[in-house]
Structures are given as structure tokens and as C-alpha cells.
Amino acid sequence: MSIGRPKITIVGAGNVGATAAHWAASHELGDIVLVDIVDGIPQGKALDLFESSPVEGFDSAIVGTNDYADTKDSDVVVVTAGIARKPGMSRDDLISTNANIVGSVTDSIIEHSPNCFLIIVSNPLDVMVTVAHRHCKFPRERIMGMAGILDSARFRSFIAMELNVSVEDVHALVLGGHGDSMVPLPRYSTVAGVPITKLMDQNRIDELVQRTRDGGAEIVEFLKTGSAFYAPGASIVEMVEAILKDKKRILPCAALLQGEYGEENIFMGVPIKLGAGGVEEIIELDLEPHEMEQFKKSADHVRELTSSL
């Protein structure tokens, strides 16, 4: 690794991990280590990605490996490892297999990078962040999950498509667990500052909310043999960039609640301030009764899944 650049480790060289590595390299966020248990896959993808650097014009060292020793002293570690969904599967169907994988990966990571920031992406997201936290015992500032950015990006995309406006002018917010119980918030979703509740009727909003909840499954049904990776990869890198550049972004991420929103000791998707200190602040929104009820139901669902571990 080159002296002075941040070190980013991405565990899992599948579509999500490799795409995140590509985005991170193209943004010149640091040097990248791509790790996978399958011999040759991370090495080949890392070399291929590095060979694109003269064309795309980025300077990042990119290494593929099967050895966690190569991840030593990483600044940020992203865990995408685990099996992906197939058509007809929910994220929840992945619990037992991915819990074992994420637990083992976390042990290996903290052995070599005990001071890193840890971003979990494996599904079911909220449960997997809990698994990783049980293994690493990190303070809540240094462990989080990527889901809300992706869910919000899907909601933003559907709003832009519906209103035929630029995605750059659309902002949206999705809270709660990453799954069927997620809580899109139309009241906090805007186009150039105007709430979408003033731009379309409630029936259409409800349809976009449901499409957001089904966003991952919709892509799985199209792909047949895998799940989404472009939008997840970009969402991961938005978090990595916020930390490494101390951007103080307000982003929806899975964070450990310790009294916020009336919840204790549970990872849930909420707006956070993300910067060089990691989860620097949890933003508590003023939720209306029906929104809080949905949030509570989502929390209950996450607890139910977690209890099955």
C-alpha cells in the first residue's frame, strides 16, 4: 500500500464487492484490498480493475487476496460476504448461512484491523450488523450497516421516473429495517424542496412506497441468478467517502439505537451524521403517530429475526 492513502478493505469479491471496489477506486478514495475465500477471484478482479486505471485516470493500488493478513491496519472495512437471494427468497431466508459467514469474517477483520470502521452490507442487513457487533464489540460510532441509502435511492429513482424530473432534485428518506418492513417517509421526500405529498396523489405515492419495499426483489426476479449490485455498490461508497473525507453527510444507515426513537440495543435504519468519527450523531425526526407505528413494527420484525440466531 502507498504511504498516506487510506486503506479500504472489501470482503467479498462478488458483484456487490467488486462494484464497490470499482466505485471506490474511480473516486480515488484510497488503496483497496479485495478479499474472498475463493482462490483467484479477488486476484483476477483486482488486477482487471487496476488495469482500467490508466484509461479511467485514477491512482489507487488494488490488491486481491485470500489472506486477511493483507488487510492489516485498514481504515474502513466493508463486508459484503454471504450468499445472495434467488427468485422467491426473502432477505430473511439467508439468516443462518450468512450469520456464520459474517461472524467468521468479523473475527478475521478485527484481528488485523482492530481500529477500523466497519460497514456491513450482507443480508438480512439489520441482523448481520448485530452479528458483527457481537463479535467485534465496537462502539456504535465504528460499526454500521448500509441499507437506507440504497432504499432511499430506489425511492428517489421511482419518484424521478414518475414525475419526469432530474434525480438530482429528488431527495427521499427510508427508515427502519432493510426488508418488507422498511418505512419510506413521503412527508420527508421532496422534489426541489417540495414534498411529494403535494405533487402526486396518495394512491400513486402508496404504489411507489410498495415498489421501494419490493425494489430488491424486483431486480432478483429479472436477474434470476443473483441480486442487485450497481446501486448497492454506489451506496457503499457514499458511506466510505463520507467517513474518509469527513463530509458530515446526513444519511440513512443502520445504527445502534440507545434510546433514540424509543428503542434500545437494536440496529435500525435512521438518519445519521457520518464523518471522520463514524456515526457522529443520530438524527431524531419528529414522526407522526402512523409513521412511528410503522417504525415500531419494523423494529419488532428485526428483533424477531435477531432472536432466531
Q: Which residues in the chain show pLDDT less than 50?
A: 1-2
Q: Longest C-alpha distance within the chain, in Å? A: 55
| Residue 101 structural domain | 7-145
Instruction: Output the pLDDT for position 70.
Output: 98
Domain count, the chain: 2
Residues 246 and 190 in one domain: yes
C-alpha cell at 100: 456464520
Q: Is residue 1 domain-resident?
A: no
Residues 162 and 270 in one domain: yes
Residue that finishes a domain, picked among 95, 122, 145 = 145
In sequence order, what are the beta bridge partners of 183?
A: 175
Residues 103 and 170 in one domain: no
Instruction: Output the pLDDT for position 200.
Output: 97
Q: Is residue 180 domain-resident?
A: yes
Residues 137 and 196 in one domain: no
Q: Is 22 marked active-site?
A: no
Choice among 171, 178, 290, 301 that is catalytic: 178
Query: The CATH number of the domain where 11 resides is what?
Result: 3.40.50.720
The model carries a pTM of 0.95
Residues 191 and 108 in one domain: no
Instruction: Output the pLDDT for position 2.
Output: 44
